[in-house]
């Protein structure tokens, strides 16, 4: 069989792209130097994939920031406010991704959204009513030619027109029919150009096909493809899907003159049934995604060969591929020199998965490596089995708690706070590294953190924030930090995965049963509380997020793992309360991550255990203890009742980068939790003005009862610089005061 992959991690083995891009942002290297690094990375990657024995190599899976933004820009979908800045094309590109504040103007970034059910985030394209869609860029052709020069004929990858359109925000007044028509012909033009350049195949990524689709959606898909396929000439078109099955569009896909269809046999529960049941057209190529592009465990070849046998009975031409792009897994196990071989032998990252594809092609049949060591902890399993229904419920009920807490805290109207972390400046990172490598002692490290906490608390006190945080200086990452203090997790040295743009995360691995050997955060929070009269908010990561931002084990259910973690975090909550911490935030930034892509599966397969697991964490606290939670991105309009059922007292979330449409939804569903919709965007270095924040608060207060509102940034500040952070928060406090004065009346 032929082997290929859907895509490869583009940040580089050692995050070279991230570091180069950040240098460019800081003005330390030129655009040309950045492009040089990008080129080296691409070329190194193509060669690596070729040398691993993969037959067909993609190009264009590389991106300087995000592949959806690349596709939008390729077709001229750049909102006017960015075009008007008069920047270079590269600067305009980054202005959309990160906002721009400088000589040429002041524009916010485009919204960033979760890429389906992953922890990757894409930049949401915006179709303005006045939009002209046309092929204006050359990137796929350029990168194809770049590879060709190296003697490699690649298969260019572009986000497909259907997914681009489905994901785009559409301005009112947009003529959708005209946009579809223009998009179809612009993609057609790209196909012609690629064929002229010598390409044999193009891969159009269409993950939007795996969600529930309406007749109208399908008709749109058909129109787009009929139009673009008319211009394909000799070029073969692969429609690549992933993250699920294409039950709604299978018939459409198989009846169109598409040359190849890429299907996910790992996450697509009905994929095999579709292919074996309805049959697969003999004239088409089936790209069978059988190597998991999202997990880090070695493939069970015996099981995969059996699956492949059935696939090959149904389809005449089969190409072996990954279930999705490998951008969702770390680069290579080769760098994991700290992990014992008994662990390492069970792992496969992107590079190793290339080897799995070729091994499968050669007919490898071994059934994995048998039992894993150090997995079971009977005590933990007994504790989970002993959870009763009442453990999932906090009393007294919400309204009563709300009254008690207003009395207890005496906070002003529109209380101000932050989401937890403060800038992780160079000294913070350097000191942590020095501690890790043994250059400084644990005591020296603790002293340093205490010094940072003291400065941070004093600054917040002086600036006038109402609820103080300790700053999270001791944490590298909100999930890894907790994993490191819990039994049952493993950590990688270099297991970085891109989260958005230049931001990468290093998810821990859930290896065995999880428990908490000792308190984790109590010392830091208590120290911070000892320095101020104001309440200090304890800061924890919730069980769902810890699991969703880890690589889960596959021998027990996700539910079982989440409950184990919930019990561990519950112990921490109770210890914080005992230590005098009266406000505790349990972050569930990633609650939505594993929400099934199809609505019909939401409750039965996920929310029915994820929401109670969160309640298990806080149900043991007193009425006077205020529980906060935080979610990144306001993409939960459709699960508001479930969010309310977390039964937290306050929820903060991102709202500044998207429209505040969520507010109407909150009112409509009679949302009861107090809320802090983020009033400014922390994913961008831009400093919001006081007026801007006041306007935002007032806008929010026209919909939401002002008594229920908190004022805060939309996420943690750790990735930001110190100066911009201080300016922004000073403005935030001033804005809250101003809004208080006007809204109280």
Which residues participate in the annotated binding site for L-methionine?
Answer: 419-421, 472, 587
Instruction: Answer positive or negative: Cα dihedral of 41, 43, 48, 49.
Output: positive
Confirm or reject binding of residue 428 to ligand GLN (CB under 6 A).
no
Q: Within 13 A of 447's CA, how many CA atoms are on the CB side?
A: 5
Q: Output the smallest distance, CB 478 to ligand GLN, in A.
A: 5
**Residue of 420, 676, 678, 688 that binds ligand GLN (CB under 6 A):** 420
Residues that bind ligand GLN (rule: CB under 6 A) add up to a total of: 13
If 0-12 CB within 10 Å is exposed, 13-18 middle and 19+ buried, where does residue 123 land? buried
**Residue 421 interacts with, from ligand GLN, Zn ion, none (CB under 5-8 Å by kind):** ligand GLN
Binding mask 685-724 for Zn ion (x = CB under 5 A): ------------------------------x---------
**Residue of 261, 351, 589, 660 that binds Zn ion (CB under 5 A):** 589
Annotated binding site: 15-18, 114, 119, 419-421, 472, 503-504, 549, 587, 593, 630, 632, 654, 715
Confirm or reject binding of residue 586 to ligand GLN (CB under 6 A).
no
For ligand GLN, the closer CB: 286 or 453:
453
Strand 285-291, strand 497-500: pairing: unpaired
Confirm or reject binding of residue 716 to ligand GLN (CB under 6 A).
yes
Strand 105-107, strand 126-127: pairing: unpaired
Q: Whose CA is closest to 513, among 386, 385, 391, 378?
A: 378
For ligand GLN, the closer CB: 163 or 525:
525
Candidates 87-95, 227-235, 374-382, 711-719 — which segment interacts with ligand GLN by CB under 6 A?
711-719
* Residue numbers 536-555 binding ligand GLN by CB under 6 A: 539
| Cβ atoms of residues 229 and 257 within 8 Å | yes
Q: Output the smallest distance, CB 67 to ligand GLN, in A.
A: 22
Q: Whose CA is closest to 357, among 322, 323, 325?
A: 322
Confirm or reject binding of residue 632 to Zn ion (CB under 5 A).
yes
For Zn ion, the closer CB: 70 or 587:
587
Q: Output the smallest distance, CB 420 to Zn ion, in A.
A: 9
Exposure class string for 631-664: b at 16+ Cβ within 10 A, else e: bbbbbbbebbebbbbbbbbbbbbbbbbbebebbe
Q: Output the smallest distance, CB 253 to ligand GLN, in A.
A: 37
Confirm or reject binding of residue 320 to Zn ion (CB under 5 A).
no
In degrees rounded to 5, what are phi and psi of residue 142? -60, -45
**Residue 478 interacts with, from ligand GLN, Zn ion, none (CB under 5-8 Å by kind):** ligand GLN
Give 315's contacts (C-beta < 8 A, 6+ positions apart). 275, 280, 284, 286, 288
Q: Output the smallest distance, CB 221 to Zn ion, in A.
A: 33
For residues 652 and 729, what is the distance between their CA atoms, to the nearest angstrom?
Answer: 16
For residues 199 and 193, what is the distance between their CA atoms, to the nearest angstrom?
Answer: 9
Tokens of 273: 């049934």
Q: Output the smallest distance, CB 676 to Zn ion, in A.
A: 11
For Zn ion, the closer CB: 603 or 636:
636
Binding mask 604-643 for ligand GLN (x = CB under 6 A): --------------------------x-x-----------
**Residue of 421, 424, 561, 564 that binds ligand GLN (CB under 6 A):** 421
| Cβ atoms of residues 337 and 364 within 8 Å | no
Residues that bind Zn ion (rule: CB under 5 A) add up to a total of: 3
Q: Whose CA is closest to 24, among 90, 111, 83, 69?
A: 90
Confirm or reject binding of residue 591 to Zn ion (CB under 5 A).
no
For ligand GLN, the closer CB: 193 or 537:
537
Confirm or reject binding of residue 141 to ligand GLN (CB under 6 A).
no
Annotated binding site for L-homocysteine: 419-421, 472, 587
**Residue 575 interacts with, from ligand GLN, Zn ion, none (CB under 5-8 Å by kind):** none
**Residue of 253, 478, 568, 573 that binds ligand GLN (CB under 6 A):** 478
Q: What is the largest CA-CA distance in the chain?
A: 76
**Residue 593 interacts with, from Zn ion, ligand GLN, none (CB under 5-8 Å by kind):** none
Q: Output the smallest distance, CB 526 to ligand GLN, in A.
A: 18
**Residue of 5, 419, 660, 700 that binds ligand GLN (CB under 6 A):** 419
CA triplet 40, 493, 421: central angle to 5 degrees?
100
Q: Is 683 a catalytic residue?
A: yes
In degrees rounded to 5, what are phi and psi of residue 169? -80, 135
Confirm or reject binding of residue 539 to Zn ion (CB under 5 A).
no
Confirm or reject binding of residue 655 to Zn ion (CB under 5 A).
no
**Residue 740 interacts with, from Zn ion, ligand GLN, none (CB under 5-8 Å by kind):** none
For ligand GLN, the closer CB: 183 or 546:
546
For ligand GLN, the closer CB: 161 or 685:
685
Q: Whose CA is closest to 2, among 77, 72, 76, 56?
A: 56
Confirm or reject binding of residue 682 to ligand GLN (CB under 6 A).
no
Instruction: Answer positive or negative: Cα dihedral of 724, 711, 573, 381.
Output: negative
Q: Output the smallest distance, CB 664 to ligand GLN, in A.
A: 24
In degrees rounded to 5, what are phi and psi of residue 127? -100, 110
If 0-12 CB within 10 Å is exposed, 13-18 middle and 19+ buried, where does residue 169 land? middle
For ligand GLN, the closer CB: 121 or 718:
718
CA triplet 154, 157, 162: central angle to 5 degrees?
155
Tokens of 37: 């690094």
Helix 522-530 vs helix 558-578: crossing angle, to nearest 10:
30
In the sheet that holds 583-587, the strands lie side by side as: 537-541, 583-587, 626-631, 650-653, 674-677
Give the helix/strand (H/E) hosting 497: strand 497-500
CA triplet 284, 288, 294: central angle to 5 degrees?
145
Catalytic residues: 683
Residues contributing to the site for ligand GLN (CB under 6 A): 419-421, 472, 478, 539, 587, 589, 630, 632, 715-716, 718
List residues near Zn ion by CB under 5 A: 589, 632, 715
């Amino acid at each position: 069989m032929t082997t290929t992959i859907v895509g490869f991690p583009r940040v580089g083995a050692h995050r070279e792209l991230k570091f180069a891009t950040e240098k460019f942002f800081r003005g330390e290297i030129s655009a040309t130097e950045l492009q040089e690094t990008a080129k080296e990375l691409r070329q190194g990657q193509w060669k690596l994939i070729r040398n691993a024995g993969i037959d067909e190599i993609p190009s264009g899976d590389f991106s300087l920031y995000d592949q959806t933004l690349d596709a939008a820009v390729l077709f001229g979908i750049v909102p006017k406010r960015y075009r008007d800045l008069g920047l270079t094309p590269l600067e305009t590109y980054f202005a959309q991704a990160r906002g721009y504040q400088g000589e040429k103007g002041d524009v916010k970034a485009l919204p960033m959204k979760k890429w389906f059910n992953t922890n990757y985030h894409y930049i949401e394209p915006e179709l303005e009513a006045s939009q002209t869609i046309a092929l204006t860029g050359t990137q796929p052709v350029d990168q194809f030619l770049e590879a060709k020069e190296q003697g490699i004929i690649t298969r260019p990858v572009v986000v497909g027109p259907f997914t681009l359109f489905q994901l785009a925000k559409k301005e009112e007044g947009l003529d959708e029919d005209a946009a579809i028509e223009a998009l179809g012909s612009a993609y057609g033009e790209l196909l012609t150009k690629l064929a002229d350049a010598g390409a044999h195949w193009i891969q159009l990524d269409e993950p939007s096909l795996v969600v529930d689709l309406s007749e109208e959606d399908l008709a749109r898909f058909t129109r787009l493809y009929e139009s673009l396929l008319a211009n394909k000439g000799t070029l073969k078109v692969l429609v690549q899907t992933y993250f699920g099955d294409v039950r709604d569009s299978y018939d459409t896909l198989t009846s169109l003159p598409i040359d190849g269809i890429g299907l996910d046999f790992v996450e697509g529960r009905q994929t095999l049934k579709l292919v074996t049941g309805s049959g697969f057209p003999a004239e088409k190529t089936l790209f069978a995604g059988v190597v998991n592009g999202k997990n880090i465990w070695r493939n069970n070849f015996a099981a995969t060969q059996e699956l492949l046998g059935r696939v090959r009975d149904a389809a005449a031409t089969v190409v072996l591929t990954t279930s999705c792009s490998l951008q969702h897994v770390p680069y290579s196990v080769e760098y994991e020199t700290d992990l014992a071989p008994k662990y390492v032998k069970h792992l496969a990252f992107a590079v190793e998965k290339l080897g799995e594809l070729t091994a499968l092609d050669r007919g490898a049949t071994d059934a994995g490596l048998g039992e894993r060591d150090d997995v079971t902890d009977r005590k933990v399993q007994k504790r989970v089995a002993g959870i009763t229904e009442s453990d999932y419920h906090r009393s007294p009920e919400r309204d009563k708690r709300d009254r008690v807490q207003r009395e207890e805290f005496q906070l002003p109207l529109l209380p101000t706070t932050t989401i937890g972390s403060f800038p992780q400046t160079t000294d913070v990172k350097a000191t942590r590294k020095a501690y890790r490598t043994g250059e400084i002692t644990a005591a020296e490290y603790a002293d340093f953190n205490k010094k940072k906490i003291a400065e941070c608390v004093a600054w917040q006190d002086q600036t006038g924030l109402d609820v103080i945080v300790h700053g999270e200086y001791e944490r590298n990452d909100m999930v890894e930090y907790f994993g490191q203090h819990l039994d049952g997790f493993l950590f990688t040295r270099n297991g970085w995965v891109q989260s958005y743009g230049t931001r990468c995360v290093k998810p821990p691995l859930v290896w065995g049963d999880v428990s908490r050997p000792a308190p984790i955060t109590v010392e830091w929070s208590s120290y911070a509380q000892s320095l101020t009269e104001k309440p200090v908010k304890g800061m924890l990561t919730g069980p769902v997020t810890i699991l969703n931002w880890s690589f889960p084990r596959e021998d027990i259910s996700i539910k079982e793992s989440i409950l184990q973690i919930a019990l561990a975090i519950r112990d921490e909550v109770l210890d914080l309360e005992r230590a005098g911490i009266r406000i505790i935030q349990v972050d569930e930034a990633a609650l939505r991550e594993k929400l099934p892509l199809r609505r019909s599966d939401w409750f039965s397969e996920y929310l029915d255990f994820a929401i109670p697991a969160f309640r298990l964490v806080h149900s043991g606290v007193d009425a006077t203890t205020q529980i906060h939670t935080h979610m990144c991105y306001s993409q939960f309009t459709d699960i508001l009742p479930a969010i309310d059922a977390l039964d937290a007292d306050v929820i903060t979330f991102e709202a500044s980068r998207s429209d505040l449409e969520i507010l109407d939804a909150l009112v409509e569903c009679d949302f009861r939790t107090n809320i802090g919709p983020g009033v400014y965007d922390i994913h961008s270095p831009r400093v919001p003005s006081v007026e801007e924040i006041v306007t935002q608060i007032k806008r929010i207060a026209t919909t939401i009862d002002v008594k229920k509102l908190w004022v805060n940034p939309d996420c943690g500040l750790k990735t930001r610089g110190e100066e911009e952070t201080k300016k922004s928060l000073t403005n935030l406090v001033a804005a809250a005061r101003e809004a208080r004065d006007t809204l109280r009346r």
